[in-house]
Amino acid sequence: MTLDTRRLVMGDWSRVVRDPLDVLRLVFAAGAVAFAVSGDAAAAFNLGLAFAVLVAARLANLPRLYDLATIVALMFTQGGEALGLYDTIEWYDRVVHFVVPLLASQIIYLCLARIEVMPDPSQETLPRHEAGMLIAVFALGLAVGALWEIFEWSSDGIFGSELSEGNTDTVGDLIADAGGSLAGGALMVLWSERGWGSVRRIPGENRREDTRS
Q: What is the pLDDT of residue 54?
A: 96
pLDDT digits (tens, 9 = 90+) for 56-103: 999 888 898 999 999 999 999 999 999 999 999 999 999 999 999 999
Q: How far from 13 is each of 9, 23, 68, 194, 200, CA to CA, in Å?
A: 10, 11, 17, 28, 16
What pLDDT, in 10s, does the model give residues 108-145?
999 999 899 999 999 888 899 999 999 999 999 999 99
Hey, how many other C-beta atoms are within 10 angstroms of the C-beta on 7?
Answer: 14
Question: What is the C-alpha separation between 135 and 36, in angstroms, rounded?
Answer: 42
Residues 37-46, mean pLDDT to the nearest whole number: 96
Stretch 37-47: mean pLDDT: 96
Structure confidence at residue 201 (pLDDT): 56
What pTM does this model have?
Answer: 0.86
Within the chain, residue ranges assigned H as helices are 3-10, 20-38, 41-60, 64-74, 80-82, 85-88, 92-114, 127-159, 167-193
Residues 6+ apart with CB under 8 A from 18: 11, 12
